Every structure is written in C-alpha cells, then in structure tokens.
Structure 1
Amino acid sequence: MNLTALHVDFRAKLAVFALMFLLSALLTHDVSICIALVFMLMYLWMQGFYRAGVFYFFAGVLIAFLRTLTGSGGVTVFLPDVLLFALLRISLVMMAAYAMVRMPPSEVTAAFMKMGFPAALALPITFMLRFAPTVRGEFRTVFSALRMRGLLSFAHPMRAFEYILIPVITRSAAISDDLAASAELRGIANPGTHSCLRDIRFRTMDGVLILMSVGLTAICLYFDRWVIL
C-alpha cells in the first residue's frame, strides 16, 4: 500500500533537530537514546524517508548492542566503547538532519526569510543544505568511474584515497561556482521582498509534531535521570 508522504515545514524540522541535538548531549543511557531512535524512525517514515529511517535506526540499535558486550568502558569487539558512545548519539542527530538536508533549497530560504533570519546566517546554511547532496552524488560518480577502471584496491588504500579525493575536490570547486551563479541569477542578493513558488505555511500538524518532540524530550530526560539506575 502506497502512503502519501507528509510534508513538514522547515521550522518544525529545525525544532526537532534542536531537541534531538539536546538529547544527544544530555542523555547518558543507551536505552533512552533507543527510545528517541524509535520516535525518529516514525518521524522519517511519515515523511517518506523509509530506507534512511530503517538504516539509521538499525545502525543505532546495533551500536547499542555492541556497547552491551563490555558493559561500560574498555574496548568492544570492534571499536573503543567511547567511540561507540559518540556514534550512537550522532546517529540520532543524523536522523533529524537527514529530513532537513532533503528539503528543496528554495523552501529553506523562504522559511528563513519568514523567520527573519539575517542573510549572513541564512545563506550559508541554505548553500550547505544544497551542497551536501551534490557532493554525495559526486562521490558516487567518482566511485563508479574508478570501479570501472579497476583503480579501487584495498592493497593500496592511500593511492585509492588520492584517486577519490582529488576529483571530488576539483568537481566540488566548480559546482560551488555554479551554485553561486544560480543563486545570483535568482536574485538572492536582492534586498527587497522575495517571493517563493512553494506554499510556506506552519500547519497544525507541524505544531503537533513539535509538541510530540517536546514531550519525547521530557520523557527521555525523566527516564534517563530517575528511572534507569
């Protein structure tokens, strides 16, 4: 059965990201993080990001499981425990950031303008959100080209790293110029009122989502501080 993906306003996504970042910094127990991961799985799922939600969720659960192998401290079977501790919390933030990165840059720019953000802050964030998926596509292109030519080899990792990094940096520099020219052509430097073809509205569902996120934050903090001993 095909379900219609729910459209979430950028301002609501920004609030969810801030709350998940707060939880990742304050929560000390993995169980509390896993509760938040379940919420974020549903959050991504209702927006149509099924594969990303499942990937990050099971990656977080796997990391939490690896941490239980040693209890606390020390080295697990694969990675130092402190690194797993950080990766588990980063996975929560990545789930919140994924929904923001996948938004159209024009919608993000219009949302920033509605919030009254200064251009010095809004424009770099907008370009970053636009640039991230572009660089990911460039990495895929370079990997495909190197694989076809048989240049990717685990026997020579530094050489493979050089073959990957240099083309990506070169292409990224050219793409950044193209993005800047495209933004100027669309009048991003115009000091007047900007229009947007997209309907930027803060709907009731966005408010409900923020309230649910605040409730989850309170529950996780209470659970982490007073329930888990």
Structure 2
Amino acid sequence: MFDVRLQFGLLLICGCLAIFVNETGSLVLAAIAILLLACQNQYRLGINWFLMYCGLLLARYLITNYLSDTFLNVFLLMLLIALKTLPTIIIASGLAKVPSGKLIASLQKLKVPESILLTFTVALRFFPILRAESKIIGENAKIRGISFKQSKNWLHPLQMFEYSMVPLLMRTIRLADDLSASATTRGIDAPCKKTSHYEIAFQPKDAVGLVAGLGMLSTLWIV
C-alpha cells in the first residue's frame, strides 16, 4: 500500500477538487481513485466502486434523456451530488483498510492535532464495522422471517423499518462508545511522546501516488 501520508494528501486534494471540477473532471477523479485502489491490490473493492459509479452514471443518463418528472428531478440532483462526492469516498475507503496503529502513527508525523486525529481515526473505523453489524442484523432478521427478502413482508414496510433500524441505531451508539474507549485505552490522548512499531517512510512505489496527485490537479483544466 502507499504511504498513509500520501493517501491522506490525495484524499484532501480529491475532496477539494471535487467542488470545482466539471462533470468530466469528476469522472477523471473517479477513474484515478479506482486505479489507486488497484495499485494497492484492492481489486475487489475497486471493482465494486466501479460498478456502483457506472450504475449511477446509467441512472443519470436514463433520467436525463428518457424520463421527465418532478420527483425524478429531485432524484437527479441527488445523483449529481453522489457522482461529485464519490471519488473522495473511494479514496477514503482505501484508507479504511489501513491498520489503526499505522494510520495514527502516520498522521502524528504530519503533526495533526490530537482531537482531529481521534475523530478521523474513529470515523474511518466506524463505517466498516457498522456495515458488518448491519449485515448481522439482516441475517438475524431473515432467520426470524422478518426480512425484506421475503415477499410477505413487503406489505408491512414500517414494521420492517422498525425491526431493522432500531437495532442498528442501538448498535451504532454502542459502537461509537467502544471505538472511543479502545482508542483511549491505546493511549491516543496520552500527553507523552508516542512510538509505533510501524516504519513510516516513503517508498519508491509511492511515486505512482504522486503521479496520481498530479493527474487529479490536471482536472482543473478540463473544460
């Protein structure tokens, strides 16, 4: 994988550029972000993001050219926002695979304030764990016969929402507390100088990331 500091820099660059680039530039940013995942051997994750991005593009094309409705116009706006923000999310998903200790050690070298460091680290760990918890809740609901995968439950959407969302919200509160306690236990807020067994240094392969960063900057000139 690339140096975490480089990945973090690419995340910031992509997040800033996504605000200013046009649709073509946003497409280029998404392509670069997916290629970065492939360069880090995260092929499955890259393929999933590629399929999702293509699906959003297809939905936007169909609504723009073949459908016309007030409600669909609102949906189209949501699609455009998703297409704008997705490149940044793709890069962030790659950072979510970095071990917590390595991530913290790398950001400490960048002199990131402790409060921001704790928030960022917990956030990157929170969403993957939340997705796993959501999957477990869905499997338990399916066993009890209260899953949307069973057609008989389609007539009771509010009841299904209650059975799926209430447990997930309760788990979310507990997960946030657990992650914060775990970080505190590992000394994230200790006032002393911290050490790490991870070797934080740039490698020759990080040159690919630098080229990707230059490619992102070039999207500002795409018209």
TM-score, with structure 1 as normaliser: 0.83
Counterpart pick for 1:50 among 43, 51, 56? 43
CA deviations on 1:37-59 (whole Å, 9 max, x unpaired) are 22222111121221221121232
* Structure 1 residue 13 corresponds to structure 2 residue 12: no
Structure 1 residue 162: Cα displacement: 1.4
Moved more, 62-71 or 47-56: 62-71
Structure 1 residue 139 and structure 2 residue 142: aligned?
A: no
- Rounded to whole Å, the distance in 1 between the matches of 2:178 and 2:155 is 37
Q: Deviating runs (4+, > 4 A) in structure 1? A: 73-79
1:28 counterpart residue number: 22
Superposed displacement of residue 78, structure 1: 6.5
Unaligned runs of 5+ in 1: 1-6
AA partner of residue 196 (structure 2): C
Check conservation: 1:151, 1:160, Cα contact below 8 A: yes
**Helix, strand or coil: the match of 1:199?**
coil
1:82 to partner: Cα distance:
1.9
Q: Cα RMSD over matched residues? A: 2.5
Deviations 1:25-47 (CA, angstroms, capped at 9, x unpaired): 11222x33323322222111121
Q: Compared with structure 1, are the counterparts of its residues 67 and 135 closer, same or farther at alpha carbon in structure 2 (3 Å cutoff)?
A: closer
Name the count of aligned residue pairs: 216
- 1:40-189 equivalence runs, <5 A: 40-69=33-62, 70=64, 80-152=75-147, 153-189=153-189
User: Which is worse superposed, 116-125 or 56-65?
Assistant: 56-65
Gaps of 5+ in 2: 148-152
Deviates more, 1:95-104 or 1:149-158: 149-158
Amino acid aligned to 2:12: A
Aligned residues: percent identity?
A: 24
Q: Distance in 2 between matches of 1:160 and 1:103?
A: 35
For residues 86-120 of structure 1, the C-alpha deviation after alignment (integer angstroms, 9 at most, x for no partner) is 12122212211111122111111111211111111
Larger helix share, 1 or 2: 2
- CA gap 1:176/1:124 in 2 versus in 1, 3 angstroms: same
The corresponding residue for 1:215 is 214
Going from structure 1 to structure 2, the CA distance change for 1:218 and 1:176 (only over 3 Å counts) comes to: closer
Any conservation in 2 of the 1:34–1:60 contact (CA below 8 Å)? Answer: no
Deviates more, 1:40-49 or 1:177-186: 177-186
Corresponding residue for 2:150? none
| 3-state SS of 1:154 partner | helix
TM-superposed CA distance for 1:77, in Å, is: 11
